[in-house]
Amino acid sequence: MPSQPLGAPPHRTSISLHSMCTILLLAVAGPLSPASGQAFGRALLVADDQVLVGEANHGRVPGTVWGYASTDGDWELRGKLQGPAAQTNDRFGTSLAQIGDLLFIGAGSGENAVVHIYRIAEIWHDGAAPLQTLAVAGWKGLGAMLAASGDELLAVGRSPDGAWELASFRSGNDGVWSQVATMALPSDEVTLAAEGGVLAMGLPGVDAGQVLLHTRGSDGEWSVATTLDGAALTEPERGFGRAVAIHGGSVVVGGRGGAYEYSRVDGEWMLAGGWPQLAEANGTLAVGSASAIALGAHVALLGYPSADFGTGSVAVLADGDDGWAFKTRLIADHAPLPRVVGGEAPCEDGMADLYACNGVDLLAFLPREEIGAARGSRLNDVWGWRDPETGREYALVGRMDGTSFVDVTDPLNPRYLGNLAPTEGSIPSTWRDIKVYGSYAFVVADNAGDHGMQVFDLAQLDDVAEPREFATTALYGEIGSVHNVAINEETGFAYLIGSSSGAETCGGGSHIVNIRDPLHPTFAGCFAHPNTGRRGTGGSHDAHCVVYRGPDQDYTDREICVNSNETALSVADLTNKDQPVPIAAAEYAGVVYAHQGWFADDHRYFYSNDELDELGGAVAATRTLVWDLQDLDDPVLVREYMSPTRATDHNLYVLGDHLYMSNNRSGLRVLDIADRENPVEIGYFDTTPWGPDEPGFDGTWSVYPYLESGTLLLSSRREGIFLVRLGETVHP
C-alpha cells in the first residue's frame, strides 16, 4: 500500500536513489581486523545529506560510526568515526541523534556509558574529537537509546536507584550541555524516536507491544496523548514497538510481524498501512525483523544488526509514486587477514608472518571468505582425511553455514574444493562437528533444528577442478540437533553426544549409531551416566571411545568411553550397546564445565579440559587436567598443568608424546608429555594477532594433528584455516 508522503524538515535535504546491486564497502581498517558479529545497523540516522550507521558491537576493533552519501544515485562510503579512546568493545555507536549541527553518539555500557557530542561537519576530519562528553553520576547505560526533540536531547539510562529513566539535556548560553530533567520509564525495554513536539516510546515487551505517543504540555512535561497497541492489529504479534521512527507527520513502528505506518489525520493517529515485503536479489527482506528504523526525506533505513551472522546490514528504501521500494543494501566489511600461500613462513624471532609463535612454522593460511564462508559466518570444527588410494590429504572444516573441503596435499598451496550445505530445513549453527570413518565424513550440528547426521562420501573430493556445491550422500534422521560426534573407527560406532532434539535424545548423553555400513546407519542404543551433567541426566559434551588396551586388565579389549559430562568425567563400558555399564564418575575441584579430553596412546593417562574455569575465574591460568586411569573404577587426578596464558581452552588431542591443545585466543599450544604426569610446553602458534591471551571464545576452535605428512590443521573462528607444522627444533 502506498505510504504517506514524507516531508523534509528544514534542516534536512533529500537523498536521490535508484535501483542498484548490493554495495560492498571495504573499510580501510588495516589487515588485522577480520571482524564479524559487529551488529552493523543497530543505530541509524538520516543526518543532513548523509546516512549514519552505528556499529557498536565490533568484535576485536573499536566501535564505529559509518557515513554514506549518494551522488547521482551511487552510494559511497563518506567516512568512518571511532571514539576518542578507541578500544575493543567500547560500544561507540550504540545510539545516534542530531540537533542542528551537532551529532550525539552513545558509547560504552554500565557505569562507563557516556554520550559524545561532535560537530557534524567535522566528524570525517582526521583527529575529529568530541566537543563534550555527557555523563550522569551514578547512572548506568546512559545513551542506550537517544532521541532529539527540538533543542532537547533525550537519553535512556539506569538511575542510581536501579530504575530506567529518560534524562533530558539542553545547552546553556555557554554552549555546555547539562542535564535538566528526568522522567520515569514504564519498562526496562524501550525504543525512542522524537520530532517536533512528539515523542514516541516503543514498549515491545508489554503484552503484544505498544507505542506511547507523548506530547509536551505548557509546563514542559511530556504526557501520553495516544497509545498505539500491537494487539489491535489484524494479526498481532509480540514485539510491536521494537523499532520506531518519526518523520514529517508519520510514525513507523517495527514489530516481529511487520512494519506499520501511522499518519495523523485531524489530530488523530491512524494506521495508514503495513509496509510490503521487500524483494531483494538474494531473497526477501523481512521488514518486521528490523531492529532499527530511520526516516528522512523520501528515504527510509531498516537496520538488521543480526543479518549475516550478526555482522549486520542496512536496507535503503525509497518512497515513490507506488510507495516504498527497496533500493540497495549497505554493508561495511572489514578486510580479511591476508592469505599466506606459495611459501613457508618459518617461526623466527617469535613471529611467523603476522603470527606470534614458538617452534611452530606457518605453511599456509586461507581466510574463511576463501573457503566458502558467507559474510559473517565463522568457522568451528576441523578434521582431516587421507585418501588411502591416492595419498592425498584433505581438511574438513566446519562453518556456521556448512562444511568446507580443502585439499592440503601440498601444504604450501591448499586448494578449496567446495561446500556441503547443511541439511535442508535446518538452521545455521555455531556448533558443527565432523569425524571420519573409512572414506566417509559424518557431520552433525547443534541448535540447528532437524539437521540429523550427514554422511558424505569423501571419494567425491578426487579430481575436483573448480570449487563446487556437494550433496549429502546419506542422512541419518533419527536425531535432530547434536553437539558432537565421536567415532570409534576400530569398532564402527558413532556416538552422537549432547543431542537436543529428535526421536531419541538419550538424556543428552550418547545416542549410539552403527555406521559399519556408512550409507545405512542404524540406531544401536543409548547411554547417559546417571547423576552427571548439569541437569543430572547424564548430559555430555564430548567423548573419546577406544578399544581399551591399558593397564586395567578387567577391561582389556572392551569398548571404553570417557565422556566429558559438564560436571564430571564419565568412564563407561559400552561394549554391549544394549546394556552399557557406567564404571566411574570422576569429579574434581573447581569444575565449571568439563568439556573434552583424549586418551594417551598407552590408555593409562587421560588429558581433559574445563572450558569455563578460566572465564569464571576458578583458575588463574589455562588448566589442563591429567588423569591416571590405571584403575578405571577409580580415576585419579594426578596433575593440573597450568599454561603460561589465561585463554579459554577448547579441544585437545594426543599423538605419541605430544599433546596438541587449541586454546582459543592463545591459539595452538604443543606440550611434550613423554613424562605423562609432567607436561612441558614446547611450542605455540597464535592465530589471533591482536589483544591479550585472555578468556573468551574467539580464536582457535580445534586442531587436527593426525595427517601422515605431519601437517597440523587449525580452524580459527573469525580468521580461517591455518596449516602449520612443528619446527625442526622445538624447545621449552
Residue 519 region, left (φ>0) first, then alpha (ψ -120 to 50), else beta? Answer: alpha
Task: Give the pLDDT band of residue 74 (cuts 50, 70, 90).
Answer: confident
pLDDT in tens, 274-318: 775 555 544 455 555 788 999 988 888 999 888 888 888 898 888
Q: Alpha carbon of 551 to those of 562, 597, 639: distances in Å?
A: 16, 19, 19
Instruction: Give, for 308, the enclosing helix (H) or strand (E).
Output: helix 307-310
Give the mean pLDDT of the chain: 89
pLDDT at position 433: 98
C-alpha cell of residue 135: 555523563
- Spell out the domain ranges in the chain: 23-334
Across 188-197, 310-319, 517-526, 702-711, least confident range:
310-319
387 pLDDT above the threshold of 80 = yes
pLDDT in tens, 584-601: 999 999 999 999 999 999
Strands, DSSP E only, in 635-719?
Answer: 636-642, 652-655, 658-662, 668-672, 680-685, 700-704, 712-716
C-alpha cell of residue 278: 521487500
Task: Give the pLDDT band of residue 731 (cuts 50, 70, 90).
Answer: very low
C-alpha cell of residue 718: 573469525
C-alpha cell of residue 104: 550525539
pLDDT at position 235: 74
pLDDT at position 601: 96
344 pLDDT above the threshold of 70 = yes
pLDDT at position 285: 57
pLDDT at position 278: 56
Instruction: Give, for 97, the enclosing helix (H) or strand (E).
Output: strand 95-99
Burial of 305 (0-12, 13-18, 19+ CB in 10 A): buried
pLDDT at position 290: 82
CB atoms closer than 10 angstroms to residue 578? 8
> What would the mean pLDDT of 105-133 be, rounded to a whole number?
93
Name the 3-class secondary structure at 540.
coil
> What would the mean pLDDT of 361-367 be, rounded to a whole number?
98
Task: Give the pLDDT band of residue 17 (cuts 50, 70, 90).
Answer: very low
Query: Half-sphere exposure (CA, 13 Å, Cβ side) for 443?
Result: 38
Instruction: Give, for 215, the enclosing helix (H) or strand (E).
Output: strand 210-216
Give CA–CA dist 527/229, Å, rounded: 51
> What would the mean pLDDT of 81-104 be, rounded to a whole number?
88
pLDDT at position 503: 84
Name the 3-class secondary structure at 553.
helix
pLDDT at position 18: 28
Higher pLDDT, 547 or 729: 547
Give the position of cell 489525520.
Answer: 265
Q: Alpha carbon of 543 to those of 422, 571, 574, 594: distances in Å?
A: 23, 10, 12, 11
Q: Which amino acid is at 710?
A: G
Instruction: Give the β-pairing of 680-685 and 355-358.
Output: antiparallel
Beta-carbon contacts of residue 728 (< 8 Å; ≥ 6 apart): none
**Percent of the chain scoring above 70 in pLDDT:** 91
> What would the mean pLDDT of 614-631 be, rounded to a whole number?
95
Highest mean pLDDT among 18-22, 118-122, 207-211, 234-238: 118-122
Across-strand partners of 627? Answer: 606, 637
C-alpha cell of residue 680: 612441558
Cβ pair 660, 631 in contact under 8 A: no
Higher pLDDT, 664 or 8: 664
pLDDT at position 336: 79
pLDDT at position 286: 58
Give CA–CA dist 666/731, Å, rounded: 18
pLDDT at position 10: 28
> What would the mean pLDDT of 502-531 be, rounded to a whole number?
95
What count of residues does the chain have? 732
> What would the mean pLDDT of 522-526 be, rounded to a whole number?
97
> What would the mean pLDDT of 237-256 be, rounded to a whole number?
88
Q: What φ, ψ does residue 230 adopt, rounded to 5°? A: -60, -25
pLDDT at position 306: 86
472 pLDDT above the threshold of 50 = yes
Residue 730 region, left (φ>0) first, then alpha (ψ -120 to 50), else beta? Answer: beta
Going across the sheet that includes 102-107, the strands are: 95-99, 102-107, 114-119, 132-134
pLDDT at position 70: 84
Task: Give the pLDDT band of residue 94 (cuts 50, 70, 90).
Answer: very high
Sign of CA dihedral 171, 172, 175, 179: negative
pLDDT at position 461: 98
C-alpha cell of residue 702: 580445534
Instruction: Give, for 46, the enclosing helix (H) or strand (E).
Output: strand 43-47
20 pLDDT above the threshold of 60 = no
Among 608, 576, 579, 578, smallest CA distance to 593 is for 608
Across 140-144, 445-449, 502-506, 715-719, least confident range:
502-506
Higher pLDDT, 509 or 332: 509
Task: Give the pLDDT band of residue 28 (cuts 50, 70, 90).
Answer: very low
Highest mean pLDDT among 34-38, 107-111, 352-356, 373-377: 352-356
pLDDT in tens, 162-214: 999 999 999 999 999 999 999 999 988 999 999 988 999 999 999 889 999 99
CATH class for domain 23-334?
mainly beta
Burial per residue of 723-732, b for 16 or more beta-carbon CB atoms within 10 angstroms, e otherwise: bbbbbeebee
pLDDT at position 14: 27
Task: Give the pLDDT band of residue 16 (cuts 50, 70, 90).
Answer: very low
Cβ pair 330, 44 in contact under 8 A: no
27 pLDDT above the threshold of 60 = no
pLDDT in tens, 548-568: 999 999 999 999 999 999 999
> What would the mean pLDDT of 144-157 be, rounded to a whole number?
95
Give CA–CA dist 577/651, Å, rounded: 27
pLDDT at position 115: 96
Task: Give the pLDDT band of residue 218 (cuts 50, 70, 90).
Answer: confident
Give the position of cell 594426543.
Answer: 654
> What would the mean pLDDT of 480-491 be, rounded to a whole number?
97
103 pLDDT above the threshold of 70 = yes
Q: Alpha carbon of 644 to those of 3, 70, 594, 621, 684: distances in Å?
A: 62, 52, 21, 7, 11
Give CA–CA dist 79/64, Å, rounded: 10
Across 83-97, 167-181, 569-583, least confident range:
83-97
